Amino acid sequence: MRRVVITGLGVVTATGCTIADFFAQLLEGRAGTRRIQNLEPALAEQLNCKIAAEVLCFDPSQHFDAKELDQLDRFSQFAVVAAKQALEDAGRGEFSEEEQNRLGVCVGTAYGGIETLDSSYFSLYRKNASRLSPLVLPRLMYNAAACQVSMRFRARGPTLAPSTACSSGAHAIGEAMRFIQHGQADWMLAGGSDAPITYGVIRAWEAMRVLAPENGDAARACRPFSADRRGIVIGEGAAVLLLEEYEVARKRGARIYAELAGYGANSDASHITQPSVEGPARAMQLALDAAGLNPEEVDYINAHGTATRVNDVVETRAIKQVFGARAGKIPVSSTKSMHGHVMGASGAIELVATVEALRRGVLPPTANYSKPDPDCDLDYVPNQAREQKVRAALSNSFAFGGLNAVLVVKQV
């Protein structure tokens, strides 16, 4: 089976809109959580949860003209910009017409064009609008970002838009990997994008009672694995990686960040919101088996780590089930403590963080960790980045509905 490597990275996040800025802020343990700024003040004031990890380093007018912006929801804007970064980072200019047929796109999302949907419904039901723009549907559809990336870069290969809630980005990367492995593409722009910081989405999450309160310090609101954790912080953003067949990359002299060596996907098939231990554990084992690795070869795990009471305990137990006695010796960190829970983009953003940790030999911390929880007793790299050589690493993504996706990267 053909090998798949990562040759380009692109991000748009609350902790930076370039790879350098993004990873530097992670290593410093700086969270992008703050009072919400991009909602109408009157609406924002009505929210019980007034914090989120917004992308404030992003100016759409620097990337798109007015006509383009009319056609692009915020989540599509993020995806196009992250894809452009990934191609530039990989040293790829324009693809020839023949190459375009071998270039595919796989961009996952949990919410699609929810900003467009939210504002359209507001116009209809609050402002009594009698008609909507004909561009509403092309902006809000879940495949809009994948289609916009495909059109922008003339990618005529396989193009998909997985929507599996919070594991969408990881599923997108895993499925893109398979297209290359099975010879249907030589390059894939793969990742995830979401822009879910809308009045309606936040109200829906408030109803589930899993949003972290501000408590006077927004930057410390998200505290994965800490005994005083109170819940998630919603984030927005995107990450796109250029995946490339190994021999194609080698022949063109590409810089290779890492090999995308394994992908495990499955379902708990048990509960719509409560995760099982067995499902995530089996997904991790499937990914390790696909990569041909044993537990002793894994040096880092980027956790799903949402900072909810239930999820962090379940993930801890799942890691123990897979790694046994060695579980306590493997560093595990949750970068959601800094960039927030970016829903369908989280798995892609976290894979970028994992790749950078492997490449640079330094692990991002779990920020805001203040108090050990006896039910979460692994090494969570609390608060301080750590230098460590990484041979292979896992990136975990576990979604509502029990849909799990685990990715494995390793040194080439």
| Interacting residues of 289 by C-beta distance below 8 A, sequence separation 6+ | 262, 264
Tell how strand 392-399 and strand 300-302 pair up: parallel
Of 308, 309, 316, 299, whose CA–CA distance to 336 is shortest?
308
Two tokens at 69?
Answer: 């912006």
Rg of the chain over CA atoms, in angstroms? 20
C-alpha 191/C-alpha 188 separation (Å) is: 10
Q: Which of 304, 300, 362, 345 is nearest to 326 (CA)?
A: 300
Contact, 113 vs 200, CB < 8 A? no
Q: At residue 36, what is the residue type?
A: I
Which residues are paired to 193 by β-bridges?
238
Cβ proximity of 234 and 211 under 8 Å: yes
Q: Give Cβ neighbours of residue 60 (< 8 Å, ≥ 6 apart).
A: 69, 72, 74, 77
Catalytic site residue 17?
A: no
307: left (phi over 0), alpha (psi -120 to 50) or beta: left
- Alpha-carbon gap, residue 54 to 314, rounded angstroms: 28
Place of tokens 């019980």: 48
For residue 339, indicate whether it is catalytic.
no
Tell the residue number behind the tokens 């040759």, with chain if given: 7
Tokens representing residue 319 in the block: 């890691």
Q: Is residue 304 flagged as an active site residue? A: yes
Q: How far apart are CA 136 and CA 133, in angstroms?
A: 6
Q: Which of 166, 171, 222, 339 is catalytic?
A: 166
Residues 6+ away with beta carbon under 8 Å from 94: 154
Q: Rounded CA gap, 17 and 145, in Å?
A: 18
Residue of 106, 171, 341, 376 marked active site: 341
Amino acid at 60: P
C-beta separation of 244 from 7 below 8 A: yes
From the candidates 171, 304, 339, 376, give the one annotated as an active-site residue. Answer: 304
How far is 129 from 354, CA to CA, in rounded Å? 46
The first and second tokens of residue 168, run together, are 């969408």
Catalytic (active-site) positions: 166, 304, 341
